């Protein structure tokens, strides 16, 4: 026999008061519990207030510092290995060289 | 007539606690521990209520500056307690610490009586009702369990449930639908067991 929506509704309707009637008295949160919690709280640092804009920026900068350093090293190594000719150097050379074939050879 | 609200007191105490006054925080704890305890006791086993409540108050202490801006502590505590209970069940399910329950013949018969339209009030008072409730909830995952408890047993609206769990309303609707479908499956399986 198939279970229909009515059967599900009936079960849920019957179980709802059972759930509500269950013992939800938090009587166990007594003095000893409170003392334990407060002991833990007192051992902790005071809660941090909302950080100012400059504090937030400075924290973010420090967090990003290792990544930036790694990127700088990678770029430096790449520039050294690939022997990159900067645009201004190329332009300077083009302006001074009259032999275009030699210039193109140089660029290659 | 005084227009002084308890929330105003809370705000003043939060302000003091934010500046490191732990005695002020203790006032907050004393004032709200019953509220937190009652919510936790409704969702987790009694043996876990203390731990859950402790976790909630530590979260409150660490998040005091946010609450100072947002306002109502009671609402914040309710949502954080519900989410901490949900986290508890997630951990339990991840560790497979949920006991697999099989229903006794009496419990199966009780379900059969409920389904076949007998007066619910009398049946709800029977001992089997509580046992069936526990057994049924154990068969749900943490998400479905929380949704079942909040929507069907405690009568919260979809919007309220979404707010308490920090989910979208659409997610709660989907979960509610799936939980219902799963309940149907569970009932069908139980019935097959009875008829065999």
At residue B27, the pLDDT reads 92
User: With an 8 Å Cβ cutoff, are B58 and A2 in contact?
Assistant: no
Q: Does A39 touch chain B (CB under 8 A)?
A: no
Does residue B194 contact residue B112 with C-beta atoms inside 8 Å? yes
Query: What pLDDT is stored for residue B190 in this prediction?
Result: 73
Q: Would you state the pLDDT for residue B99? A: 56
CA angle, B152 then B36 then B54, to 5°? 125
Contact criterion met (CB < 8 Å) for A40 and B54: yes
Residues in chain B predicted with pLDDT less than 70, given as ranges, are 1-8, 68-71, 96-102, 117-126, 191-196
CATH architecture of B6-94: Orthogonal Bundle (1.10)
The owner of tokens 């990544």 is A67
Summarize pLDDT for B114-151 with one digit per residue, the tens.
777 656 556 666 677 888 888 888 888 899 999 999 99
Among candidates B93, B90, B85, B190, which has minimal Cα distance to B136? B190
Q: Do A47 and B17 touch (CB under 8 A)?
A: yes
A53-85 pLDDT, tens per residue? 777 788 888 889 999 999 999 998 887 787 666
- Look up the ipTM and state it: 0.75
Answer whether B42 sits within 8 Å of A36, measured CB to CB: no
Residue of A14, A32, A48 to mutate, testing the B interface (most B Cβ within 10 Å of its Cβ) = A14
* Residue pLDDT, tens place only, A32-55: 999 999 999 998 877 765 556 777
Nearest to A8 by CA among B24, B180, B126: B180
Domain B105-195: assigned CATH number: 1.10.10.10
Q: CA-CA distance, A88 to A100, in Å (whole number)?
A: 17
Q: Return the residue in A17, A35, A41 with the most chain B beta carbons within 10 A, the one to mutate for interface testing.
A: A41
User: To the nearest whole angstrom, how far is the Cα of B171 from the nearest Cα of chain A?
Assistant: 21
Q: What chain B residue is nearest to A45 in terms of C-alpha separation? A: B20
CA distance B2 to chain A (A): 31
Domain ranges of chain B: 6-94, 105-195
């Amino acid at each position: 026999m198939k279970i229909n929506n009515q059967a599900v509704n009936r079960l849920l309707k019957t179980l709802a008061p059972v759930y509500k009637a269950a013992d939800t008295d938090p009587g166990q949160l007594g003095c000893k519990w409170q003392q334990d919690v407060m002991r833990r709280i007192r051992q902790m640092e005071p809660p941090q207030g909302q950080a100012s804009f400059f504090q937030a920026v400075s924290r973010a900068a420090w967090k990003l510092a290792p990544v930036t350093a790694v990127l700088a090293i990678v770029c430096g190594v790449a520039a050294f290995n690939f022997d990159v000719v900067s645009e201004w150097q190329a332009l300077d050379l083009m302006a001074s060289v009259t032999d275009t074939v030699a210039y193109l050879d140089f660029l290659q | 007539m005084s227009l002084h609200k308890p929330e105003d007191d809370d705000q003043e105490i939060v302000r003091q606690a934010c500046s490191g006054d732990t005695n002020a925080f203790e006032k907050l704890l004393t004032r709200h521990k019953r509220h937190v305890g009652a919510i936790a006791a409704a969702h987790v086993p009694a043996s876990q209520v203390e731990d859950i409540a402790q976790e909630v108050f530590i979260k409150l202490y660490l998040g005091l500056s946010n609450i100072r801006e947002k306002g109502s502590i009671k609402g914040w505590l309710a949502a954080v307690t519900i989410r901490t209970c949900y986290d508890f069940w997630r951990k339990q399910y991840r560790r497979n610490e949920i006991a697999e329950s099989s229903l006794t013949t009496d419990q199966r018969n009780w379900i059969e009586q409920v389904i076949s339209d007998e007066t619910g009030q009398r049946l709800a008072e029977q001992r089997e009702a509580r046992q069936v409730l526990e057994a049924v909830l154990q068969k749900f995952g943490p998400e479905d369990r929380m949704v079942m408890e909040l929507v069907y047993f405690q009568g919260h609206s979809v919007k309220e449930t979404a707010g308490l769990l920090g989910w979208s309303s659409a997610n709660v609707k989907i979960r509610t639908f799936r939980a219902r479908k799963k309940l149907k499956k569970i009932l069908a399986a139980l019935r097959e067991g009875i008829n065999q």
